[in-house]
Structure 1
Amino acid sequence: MSRIISLQTTNYKRLKAVRIQPDQNGNLVVIGGNNGQGKSSILDSITAALGGVNAKTTPKPIRDGEERAEIILETEDLIVVRRFAAGGSTLTVKSPDGAVYPKGQAKLDDLLGKLSLDPLAFTQLSDKEQLATLLDLVELPFSPEKLAAERKKLFDARADVGRQGKAIGDVTVDDSLPTEETSASEIIAKIRQLEANARARAEWASGIRLAEDKVSAIREQIKELTAELAHWESTLKTRLDGQEDLPPAHDTAPLEAQLASVEDNNAAIRANNAALSKVAKQAELRAEYNSLSDKIQALDQKKADGLAKAKFPIDDLGFDESGVTYQGVPFKQASSAEQLRVSLAMAIALNPKLRVIRIADGSLLDKDNLALVESIAREHDFQVWIEVVGDGDGRGIIIEDGEVKE
């Protein structure tokens, strides 16, 4: 656990020679002054001493007209000396008793955590950047990316099933109709059989009439045609005796009427069967839709359970697929005080060892929010270095032309 007890900066960026020894009983170190006087260079020198600089982020670490720059930063546990020259920078990290750490930057990295987080800068990050920063802090029992991808896949599948169900539309089913169509060919076959039976009966009746005629004629010629009469009497008897074996007589009118209406009935049955198929498909889609909904709910519950178990820097902090949330609403819709409180909690969580936070653009904070910063810093025993334009209401260290104004 460590604070900054002394910061001495020479020729770094806009600064000439500055030495600041914060009040160790206070939690707020206000750096004031007009624009362009070197306020930001004070805060930047803290970051540079601990984390270093590169040509991309700080192309000119040395003040114009000077050849070298130096930052000496002392905490309760370490003394950090960062020197800059035209050829680059050097670093020396010592303990208070003078022992030098052979891997100075590694020691600082272990101490530093993510000092570069400016609580106000966090509020200005994009939704995705805020979410990435938060997830760096929280150990979750699931992968948010995989969970979101799986949820999107199920959501899209459910939406497609829903569209299929809506495309079927309203369906009317006639429960009075059978599901099997009547076969016209079967009725026609029955009609043809009955017609054949009728022809057989007609032919048989014609034979009877002929036999009767012959009997009558033979009786008139009985004397000449006795033999022929006997023959036809025998024939008549045979036909009369075989009449009992003939198929019964039936009226084909009902079948003819059924045949006339069979296509209309079959069309109605086909339409009704199609409706039954649609109803079954709707039920199948409804079941699939509900199943997908249950899976989505299970994923949401898995996420909720995971979030309930996760330890966030501040109560009511969470996230969804769009970004960080606070008290269930998007972080950026929270009040400025709520955003500041959450951002400070993030910064505190990111810096568990070096208890130092830097806030650039502190002039964006009103009096109430400034008091909130100080209250939170005092509550967690943190030292907050904050840059403001002006004199800091008389409580700040004023920088003028690269030096501390006496």
Structure 2
Amino acid sequence: MTTTIPDVPLRVLELRAENYKRLTAVQIRPDGNVVLVGGRNAQGKTSVLDAIYAVLKGGAAARETVQPIRDGQDTAVARLDIGGDDGNVVLVATRRWTKDDAGSLTVESSDHARFSSPQKLLDGLLGSISLDPLAFTRMDAKKQLATLVDALGDSLEFDPIQLDAERKGVYDRRTEVGRKVTELESRLRSYPEPDPSVPAEEVSAGDLIAKVDEITRRNRGIDAAIGVAKQARANREHAAAALEAAQQALDAAAENERARIAEARSAGEREDPSPLLDQLGEIDHLNDRVRKQRDRAAVAEELSDRKQEQAQHSLRLQEIDKQKADGIAAAKLPVPGLGFDADGVTLNGIPFSQASTAEQVRVSTALAMAGDPSIRVMRIDGGESLDSSSLQIIEELAAEKSFQVWISRVDESRSVGFTIEDGEVVA
């Protein structure tokens, strides 16, 4: 059908229920934004609130209700007249149960025309958690976060789960790089400070040994030449003694002497290999210094790279945190100070679970109202646990947002709201 639902806040104008759970027959026409349902335990207070829930949420209510029909009866019915503040009925929603089914729903307009998809119609007019606002306080941290994000809808310009996952990845990588930076800094401190006198490359011991061998060979040649010259002189002296007998031999020996002396002089001066031998003795120490200085430079370069990488990760974390802060600031949060992090919902920077009862009530109720549904009906079972401050908060929010809040509470005075006894309204 094509009946148009007026774009005004809708509430329950009248509740009628027969044989539903503990109820025998009740008719309630609420007045005001807060509807109190009182009475002793096991008299049907909660059944009144459950009847509203059963009519509006259908399948979800059926799954949570084992026995909707009052004991000893064969059928049950719950009906809601739904309309605006002007008192005009817009919709009539009725759910009936028999022992053979889980309940059937009909929704009619004010002119008695029926809707073909009644549950789909009601679901489109209801908020996701508006029927039980304090359910938010009973959720675990992850479910609270998911509920808050869902309630914020398109006003939240980022995916918090995806952003938190990215942040965790960046944080873990920065932590890993930080450990490497600490390790490199420790290694760097184990090296001596750079010494400009130390050569860039290690010195070859083979080159020094070859030079020593060359000098040794040259000195041996010089020593051999000197020995030959001495022998020539001895021969000359021997020949001189026998000059008369061997003048010719003397001349030859003299000539030989001159030749050998000339040869010895041409061999050059003797060199001292001691400096090279001293240097050879120090070569291992020198090369060790070269290696350490080269290794230190490599560690310093890697440390610089890791510090730069660490700084980049820190910068990305700041960008992620700013993106989240800007997104939260731009989102339509129902309560000032409400936010969230990777662990769950926060209020003024502390975990939601650590907030006071009054603060939790305010946040949960405001969040349930934030969706701005068409049917603005809430139910709170066990209202006796609400102190006066929490109840006042609910009353103020209900008036501000044009919500109708049904609250059941244990009360034997018959002086508060509607009193239920033995499944009927008595006061």
Q: Which residue of 2 aligns with 1:126?
A: 140
Look up the equivalent residue of 1:197 and give its one-letter code.
Answer: R
Q: 2:151 aligns with which of 137, 153, 164?
A: 137
Q: Which residue of 1 aligns with 2:43?
A: 37
TM normalised by structure 1 equals 0.91
Give yes or no for the alignment of 1:97 onto 2:108. no
SS at match of 2:64: coil
> 1:353 Cα shift?
1.2
- The 5-angstrom pairing of residues 5-404 of structure 1 reads 5-23=13-31, 26-53=32-59, 56-76=63-83, 77-88=90-101, 89-115=103-129, 117-138=131-152, 139=154, 140-168=156-184, 169=186, 170-176=189-195, 178=198, 179-222=200-243, 225=246, 228-229=249-250, 231-242=252-263, 246=267, 248-390=269-411, 394-404=415-425
Runs (5+) with no aligned partner, structure 2: 1-8, 84-89
Q: Distance in 1 between matches of 2:329 and 2:388?
A: 35
Residues 244, 153 of structure 1: CA spacing in aligned structure 2 closer, same or farther, 3 A cutoff? farther
Contact 2:229 2:264 in 1 (8 A): no
Contact 1:355 1:383 in 2 (8 A): yes
Decide which moves more: 224-233 or 211-220. 224-233
> 1:216 Cα shift?
3.3
Decide which moves more: 137-146 or 122-131. 137-146
Of all paired residues, the percent bearing the same amino acid is: 39
> 1:193 Cα shift?
1.7
Q: Deviations over 1:65-94 (max 9, x none)?
A: 111111110111211011111122111111
The two structures, once aligned, show a CA RMSD in angstroms of 2.4
Q: Distance in 2 between matches of 1:380 and 1:111?
A: 16
> 1:156 Cα shift?
1.9
Q: Distance in 2 between matches of 1:335 and 1:374?
A: 18
Residues 68, 254 of structure 1: CA spacing in aligned structure 2 closer, same or farther, 3 A cutoff? same
> 1:17 Cα shift?
0.6
Q: Distance in 2 between matches of 1:326 and 1:42?
A: 33
Look up the equivalent residue of 2:305 and give its one-letter code.
Answer: E
Look up the equivalent residue of 2:82 and give its one-letter code.
Answer: T
Look up the equivalent residue of 1:125 and give its one-letter code.
Answer: M
> 1:228 Cα shift?
4.8
> 1:370 Cα shift?
0.8
SS at match of 1:66: coil
Q: Distance in 2 between matches of 1:402 and 1:245?
A: 137
SS at match of 1:141: coil
Q: Distance in 1 between matches of 2:345 and 2:131?
A: 16
Residues 211, 48 of structure 1: CA spacing in aligned structure 2 closer, same or farther, 3 A cutoff? same
SS at match of 1:388: strand
Decide which moves more: 257-266 or 29-38. 257-266
Contact 2:202 2:287 in 1 (8 A): yes
Q: Distance in 1 between matches of 2:370 and 2:147?
A: 11
Runs (5+) with no aligned partner, structure 1: none
Q: Deviations over 1:215-249 (max 9, x none)?
A: 33344445655555555555444444455653553
Q: Deviations over 1:8-27 (max 9, x none)?
A: 1111111111111111xx11
SS at match of 2:208: helix
Decide which moves more: 231-240 or 368-377. 231-240
Q: Distance in 1 between matches of 2:258 and 2:38?
A: 141
Look up the equivalent residue of 2:69 and give its one-letter code.
Answer: I
Contact 1:120 1:340 in 2 (8 A): yes
Residues 386, 7 of structure 1: CA spacing in aligned structure 2 closer, same or farther, 3 A cutoff? same
Decide which moves more: 226-235 or 310-319. 226-235
Q: Deviations over 1:14-67 (max 9, x none)?
A: 1111111111xx111111111111111111111110111465411111110111
